Structure formats: structure tokens, C-alpha cells
A and B are shown apart, each in its own frame.
Chain A
């Protein structure tokens, strides 16, 4: 089979076209957020929000409200709950996250199995790339555009708040608003990833691209560029792998991101030891 054919053949299928566009959009939006998530140390928080979206989806299905809305609400409520538990009790941040994460996920599983046993949990958790609808494609593209716009317009405020929350608050920035906008965006990223990577493995795209960029970048701008490049590359290579191996797209996309991270890590080690020699 010719090389060109290898790359072009998947694109002749309608569902694969949608899958590519959606995955790339998810890659861009998750890897943009990833920079802040990694620098601010929110990796576990991203994980918690992704798990917490499950009961939101289940309850939304039960009450016939849009899944997107239910999921986003659940993500925001859980990030709020984590903040409250942390502030009002003497529980550490990672412990608070652990409590909310497992509680919400358990609630989601119980709700689904009790109320909506027809909802395919496996697909929600790990994605089902065959089923990307036009609506989901548009939603994902819109969320990606919103995140890019928000970061483009308010980057200095986002950086100030996430780097030094006390300063941001004393200097008079709307810190709480910024915080919850970021939480909403993480929740929306999780929901947008529902079909392509699934709500569990989207965490790979929320953490790994930023971590890879942190290894290589010299400044913040470079970090965003590298992170987004890793996000897009993972989405594309992952989808090809998924197509040819007939494997779960969530799995192949997350694996690709992980492989890129380790490749960057090795490359950095090798160049560092070459220099010091």
C-alpha cells in the first residue's frame, strides 16, 4: 500500500473526518488548558473533574436535559466542593480531591446502572469515535475557540492569578471569577472529549502535553506552542492507530501523548549528557 494511501484512506470515511476534526479540536483545547494545569499543580484536580462529570451526564440523561449542561454543572459543582472541603476543614487539597473524585464517580455509576442501564458506560469513559455527531463536532469546535479566545485575551490575568493567587486578589483582579472560568473550561474540555477520548483518558490530554512542554520550553509562550503541538499530534497519530489497529481511540490517543512525553524526556536527557560530556 502506498504511503499516501495509508494516510488518505481513513479520511474517505465520513465518520473519520468528523473524528479527526473533533479530536484535533479536543487536542488543542485540552493542551492549552494543560499548560496552566501543569504549572499550577492542578493535575489531580483535572482528574477529579473528569470523574465528576459522569454523574452529571447520567442525571442529565435521566431528566432529559442536554448532556453537555449536566456534565458541565457536575464539573463545576465538584470543583466548588473541593474548594469548600479544603477551606472549611483541615483536609489537604489532594485528600479533598480524592474524596470528591471517588464519591462523584461512584454516584455516576450507581445512577447509570440504576436509572439508565442502556447508557453505554464504556463509551462515555473511553470514547466511541464512530459516533461523533455533527452537534458534538460543532460543540467541540466552539469550546476550543472559546478557550483559545479566553487565553488570548486574558493571558496576563490568567498567568498572574495562577502564578500568585494572593497577589491577584490584593491587586484587585477578579480572582474568583478567573478561577471558576478555568474550572468551567476544564469541565467543558472533558465533555467535549466524550466521543473521541472519553472522560477518563482526556486527563492524558489535560496533563501530558503541558508536562512535555515544560521539559522543553524556555518561556511561557514556547510552552503553549509546544503543548498545543503535542496535543494536535497525539490526536492525529492516535486516530490513525485507532483506525488501523481497530483499537479504542481514547486509548491510542492517550498512549501517543505518553509516548511523545517519554521521547521528549529521553531526547532531553541525551542532549544534556552530550553537552556535559
Chain B
């Protein structure tokens, strides 16, 4: 049976005077992968922040696995667009990835040095050789992968990845798509933002095209039309997208 993983209904998010999202509604099912697409400032990150309770919606309802946002804490793994962590901590890559296990291990216990989930997450993200490096001494792309590894180790139900492809190399990108396929296979739900659909749109079950409102939501073929892209990006950008995305999608 299909069951709903995330249901958003009439969501409006505003920062004082700036309205980031207006009347956004959509739902995604368990075991699906959704790409959130839209120009800069279209409210993609704001959507994620609302889903994890980092910003309070002005209006609207969010249900995560049937629960309110505050009750769904612990069921979501979230990798923000920019990590706002305190880099002075002398933590290794292993330490950070092991943090993902904090809830599963429980209070008054420490994560074992040979914890399989942690080692598997390091392996999948290609960080095993770097696990004893300090997190602050990694490159930007490596840091990004370490936080993705922490999310994997979390074994959450729902994964929210804000631009996970930005700043990582081609090999890591391939690895990430392998990880995502694996997650879909075992029934996890993934929602991620991306700016690059040209080669990957077929991978996704749903595309949410945003421009502070929902321009379109549904399967890639349904969403990626000239008309929709024009209303999301404005006419100048469209030409490029049409040749990139449209052609591959069989649209002309």
C-alpha cells in the first residue's frame, strides 16, 4: 500500500515582510524520491526549514508520517544547504558520522568504535580513508559528504537534502545516486533540491517546481514542460532549459 510520507497543505512561510512560500500544497509517498526545483530565492530551503521546524509556518498544515512537525523529530535526517556548525570542535569525521547514531544508541551509552552503521556510511560516501581527519580540515566537498554520511547513519525515515550535489565531484555524485536508489529500495523517502536536472530528471518520481508558489508538481514528464519552466524561471532562462531538459525529456 502507498502511504503518505509528507503532506503539505496550504503552507505559507514568511520572514517578516518577505514571503518565501505561499499556499504550497503537495504530498509525497513513502519510498519515493522527489526533486525540488526552482530559481534562487524560490523558497526551496525555506520549505525544508519548515519541514524540520526551523521556521514556523504563517499558515498551513504539515504532516510527516501522519505526525505534526514537532512530533516527527527524530524521524527526519536533514542536510542543510550550508552547515552552521561550530567548526572549532576538534572532532574527527568518524565523530561527526557517529553523531548520527545518537538516538539509536540511546542515553548513557557511547557509539562503539566498530559500529557497523557508522563504518558503512563512511564506506558509502568514500570517506573511510579520511575518518580520522578533523572535520574542519576537510575540503568543502568532503565536509558535505561527511554530513551526508551522518544522515545515512541516522537511519531516518525521511531524508531532506538541500542541494547535496552542489560542490561534490562526479564520482561522489554517482555514489550519492547509488545511495539514493538503495534508500528508495528499502522504502525511505527522499526530498532533495537541485539546480541540475539535465541528466538526472528521469531518476526522480516527482518534481516539485517552485517559484514561491507551486508552479507544478508531479512526474518529470508532466512537470518539465516549456510552459511550466517559463513560469518558474522567466523567459530568458527558459530557452536554455528547453534545450537541456526539454530535449532529453522528449519534448520539443
Residues of chain A at the chain B interface (Cβ within 8 Å): 38-41, 153-154, 156-157, 159-160, 162-164, 166-167, 169-173, 214, 217-220, 223
Contact = CB atoms under 8 A, between A and B. Distances in A.
A41 B86 contact: yes
Contacts of A220: 89-91, 95
Nearest to A167: B99
Contact of B102 (A153, A157, A219): A157
B31 to A, nearest CB: 21
Interface in B84-120: 84-86, 88-92, 95, 99-100, 102-103, 107-108, 110-111
Interface in B34-90: 52-54, 73-78, 80, 83-86, 88-90
Nearest to B79: A167
A172 B91 contact: no
A44 to B, nearest CB: 15
Given A217-B90, A220-B90, A223-B90, A166 B102 contact: no
Contacts of B75: 172
Bin chain B's interface residue count.
20 to 34
Contacts of B111: 156
B102 A173 contact: yes
Nearest to B154: A171
Interface of B: 52-54, 73-78, 80, 83-86, 88-92, 95, 99-100, 102-103, 107-108, 110-111, 150, 154
B224 to A, nearest CB: 31
A214 B75 CA distance: 35
Contact of B88 (A41, A166, A170): A41
A170 B73 contact: yes
Contacts, number: 76
A160 B89 contact: no
Nearest to A153: B108
Given A166-B80, A167-B99, A172 B73 contact: yes
A39 B89 contact: yes
Given A170-B73, A171-B74, A172-B74, A163 B86 contact: yes
9 contacts: A38-B88, A39-B89, A156-B110, A159-B89, A159-B99, A163-B89, A169-B54, A171-B100, A214-B90
A170 B78 contact: yes
Nearest to A217: B90
B102 A160 contact: yes
Contacts of B86: 39-41, 162-164
Given A39-B86, A156-B102, A163 B76 contact: no
Contacts of A41: 86, 88
Contacts of B154: 171
